[in-house]
Amino acid sequence: MKIRIGTRKSKLALIQSEMAADAVKAAFPDIETGLVHITTKGDIVLDKPLEKIGGKGVFIDEIERAMLAGDIDIAVHSAKDLPLELAEGTCICAVLPRADAHDVLVTRRGEVLPEKPVIGTSSTRRAAGVRKLFPRSVNADIRGNVDTRLQKLYDRQYDGIVLAAAGLTRLGAFTDKRFDFKEIPFTVLVPAPCQGIIAVQSRVGGTASDILRKISDENTFLCYETERRVLELLNAGCSSPAGAFAEITDGTIKLTVTKDQRKSLTGSASCEERFSLAERLVNAL
């Protein structure tokens, strides 16, 4: 049996797809995997903010069409980039163990930021966190893959940029001697819901979906579901500063939520009560 994996062409997307392929092959050594490269609207239109070209769906629409047409069997995504609604007839059947969910401020090595730094981010959530760190900062839109953004920083188009620790880790970028990396605490900037999670999508009821369920990380999946529930309750799109982060210890889930990065609430419950916890916290914001 061969499983065709749909993926974007960026270096990070390919690395994440290989991670999913490795997980499948580790659990099912007889299964062959192959990557199918797909270019999405989000990869082509780089001169406009996401909300002006269709939101998070611009990264997966073409991939979902390929899946429903039978051209691919599964697709691998950064879970934080998924829209609220997936294509009918598909589901997220697996998630890989979560990586570091923090955001990271990246600056040129050894340089001190000016009094009014220009910080590159296209995320209103990250911009809200940056304002806490640097009240006089200037937010500047930035698009492109991680390597492109780092090069723009090195070329002095920005004084600093904000990126996800998970992506930097998977790309090995923390070893780049051109830059300094400063983790932004959750108390300053609550992560995007599902940040650091790799999600694997398939058609409902197919053989691939059964295989994926056997490679999914249970605790990460519970956190994924809970944080997605927060997104639904807040009706938060790609232009929202909302954040959510869940972690599980000994069967208890701890959840932090915010809709604006100014006020956040944290609570705990049993994993069975995770959705009720999300509703209680969101209603109290």
What DSSP line would sit under 158-197, residue for residue? -SEEEEEHHHHHHHTGGG-TTEEEEEEPTTT-PPPTTTT-
Decide whether 1-95+197-216 matches 103-184 in CATH topology.
Answer: yes
Closest C-alpha to 80, from 126, 35, 19, 140: 126
Question: What are the catalytic residues?
Answer: 81
- 217-285: CATH number: 3.30.160.40
Domain at 1-95+197-216, CATH from 3.40.50.2000, 3.40.718.10, 3.40.190.10, 3.50.50.60: 3.40.190.10
If 0-12 CB within 10 Å is exposed, 13-18 middle and 19+ buried, where does residue 43 land? middle
pLDDT band at 52 (very low <50, low <70, confident <90, very high): low
pLDDT of residue 40: 72
Give CA–CA dist 162/105, Å, rounded. 5
Please tell me whether residue 243 adopts helix, strand or coil conformation: strand
Chain segment 72-118, per-residue pLDDT in tens: 999 999 999 998 899 999 999 999 999 999 999 999 999 999 999 99
Give CA–CA dist 229/38, Å, rounded. 29
Give CA–CA dist 276/279, Å, rounded. 5
Chain segment 107-119, per-residue pLDDT in tens: 999 999 999 999 9
**How is the chain split into domains, by residue range?**
1-95+197-216, 103-184, 217-285
Chain segment 116-175, per-residue pLDDT in tens: 999 999 999 999 999 999 999 999 999 889 999 999 999 999 999 999 999 999 999 999
Q: Quick one: fold of 103-184?
A: D-Maltodextrin-Binding Protein; domain 2 (3.40.190)
